[in-house]
């Protein structure tokens, strides 16, 4: 999903990583005086199922790493999922794995790599012909266009995806969320709220807490943009509740920081100070240094305005240490 409105929803990092490829060795069976190389033999049905299950497990591992912002590990396991799926010609599994690889590259802002993987996934999905899968690939490619500041192209892809997603509520919700973000970027707040409300309703009904948190986070951003500070605080609080239910640590950090910003804007500096401290603790636990640095800079200012002398010295020393690296 796209929706980084307060600038904290998703981390950005870079790491070079070469995806390890699974090497499959064939065993040679000797029977009487005949040797047969199994590399020439087709996989038995049981082996195909085992390989598909293996690929699914790799994807589950990668999903967890991606959610935690551990992009190198996510690339590794999505790559292994893709290799396993390709080895048994599991077309749908290969498309999903390739799409996931593209999303990791997008998170890393390695746009050329993301373009390659997401474009190939869409090409394969169109050939495969499953409409919900095509819609998912279109939405992913739309997120890449949006990240490249091409909102018109992004929304064209989202609109095409919307027409194909009918019948798959998870994809319908995803596309509605993304269209809501584009509408907000255009300043069309009514349309943004309608799209995001649709996505939130579907995600809440299906208990997809992580996705619901993202909807609520962007709704907080829309309310803030409208000048509805009270409404923004309510939505940001609901986003935090959903991310906590999902045990989504990066989302929790983003929600706490958004609540801190909104409370600071409302003049509730003591509460904002506490929320920034909590957000800083989350970023510190996740080794998200740029996010932690951003919180520290505000904490120094708030500690100064609130007369918290011990915190001023402590946070300034931490900030200087980070900035000296």
pLDDT in tens, 63-103: 988 888 889 999 999 999 999 999 999 999 999 999 999 99
pLDDT in tens, 251-302: 999 999 999 999 999 999 999 999 999 999 999 999 899 999 999 999 999 9
Q: Which CATH superfamily is domain 248-325 in?
A: Tetratricopeptide repeat domain (1.25.40.10)
User: Which position has the higher pLDDT, 176 or 31?
Assistant: 176
Closest CA to 212 of 250, 181, 243, 180: 243
Closest CA to 122 of 111, 133, 137: 137
Please report the pLDDT score of residue 225 as a whole number.
97
Q: Helix, strand or coil for residue 2? A: coil
Say if pTM beats, i.e. exceeds, 0.85: no
Q: What is the CATH number of domain 153-240?
A: 1.25.40.10
Please report the pLDDT score of residue 18 as a whole number.
32
Percent of the chain with pLDDT over 70: 86
Percent of the chain with pLDDT over 90: 80
* 18-32, 72-86, 116-130: range with lowest mean pLDDT: 18-32
Average pLDDT, the chain: 88
Please report the pLDDT score of residue 1 as a whole number.
67
Residues of the chain with CATH 1.25.40.10: 153-240, 248-325
Please report the pLDDT score of residue 69 as a whole number.
80
Long-range contacts of 72-78 (CB under 8 A, 24+ apart): 72/15, 72/17, 74/100, 74/104, 75/17, 75/19, 75/101, 75/104, 75/105, 76/17, 76/19, 76/20, 78/104
Average the pLDDT over 169-175 and give the result: 97
* 34-37 and 28-31 strand pairing: antiparallel
Please report the pLDDT score of residue 4 as a whole number.
47
Residue 197 in contact with residue 213, Cβ under 8 Å?
Answer: no
User: Taking phi first (over 0 means left), then psi (-120 to 50 degrees means alpha), and beta for anything else, what does residue 76 get?
Assistant: alpha
pLDDT in tens, 199-218: 999 999 999 999 999 999 99
Q: How confident is the model at residue 322 (pLDDT cuts 50, 70, 90)?
A: confident
pLDDT in tens, 36-47: 334 344 566 678
pLDDT higher than threshold 80 for residue 22: no
pLDDT higher than threshold 90 for residue 138: yes
Pairwise CA distance, residues 144 & 108, whole Å:
11
Architecture of 1-22+43-128 per CATH?
Answer: Alpha Horseshoe (1.25)
Pairwise CA distance, residues 156 & 49, whole Å:
38
């Amino acid at each position: 999903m796209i929706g980084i409105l307060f600038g904290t929803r998703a981390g950005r990092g870079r790491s070079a990583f070469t995806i390890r490829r699974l090497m499959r060795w064939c065993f040679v069976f000797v029977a009487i005086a005949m040797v047969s190389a199994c590399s020439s033999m087709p996989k038995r049905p049981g082996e195909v199922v085992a390989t598909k299950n293996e690929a699914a497990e790799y994807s589950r591992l990668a999903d967890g790493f991606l959610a935690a912002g551990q992009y190198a590990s996510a690339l590794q396991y999505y790559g292994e999922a893709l290799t396993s799926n390709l080895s048994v010609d599991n077309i749908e599994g290969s498309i999903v794995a390739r799409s996931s690889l593209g999303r990791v590259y997008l998170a890393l802002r390695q746009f050329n790599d993301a373009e390659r993987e997401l474009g190939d996934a869409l090409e394969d999905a169109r050939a495969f012909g499953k409409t919900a899968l095509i819609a998912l690939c279109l939405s992913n490619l739309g997120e890449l266009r949006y990240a490249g500041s091409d909102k018109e192209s992004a929304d064209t892809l989202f609109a095409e995806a919307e027409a194909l997603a009918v019948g798959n509520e998870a994809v319908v919700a995803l596309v509605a969320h993304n269209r809501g973000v584009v509408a907000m970027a255009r300043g069309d707040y009514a349309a943004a709220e309608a799209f995001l409300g649709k996505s939130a309703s579907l995600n809440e009904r299906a208990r997809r807490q992580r996705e619901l948190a993202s909807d609520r986070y962007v709704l907080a951003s829309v309310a803030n943009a409208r000048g509805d500070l009270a409404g923004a605080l309510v939505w940001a609080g609901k986003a935090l509740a959903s991310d906590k239910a999902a045990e989504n640590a990066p989302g929790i950090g983003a929600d706490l920081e958004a609540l801190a910003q909104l409370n600071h804007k409302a003049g509730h500096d003591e509460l904002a100070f506490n929320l920034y401290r909590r957000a800083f603790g989350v970023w510190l636990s996740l080794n998200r240094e740029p996010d932690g640095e951003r919180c520290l800079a505000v904490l120094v200012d708030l500690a100064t305005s609130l007369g918290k002398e011990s915190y001023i010295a402590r946070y300034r020393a931490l900030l200087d240490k980070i900035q000296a690296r």
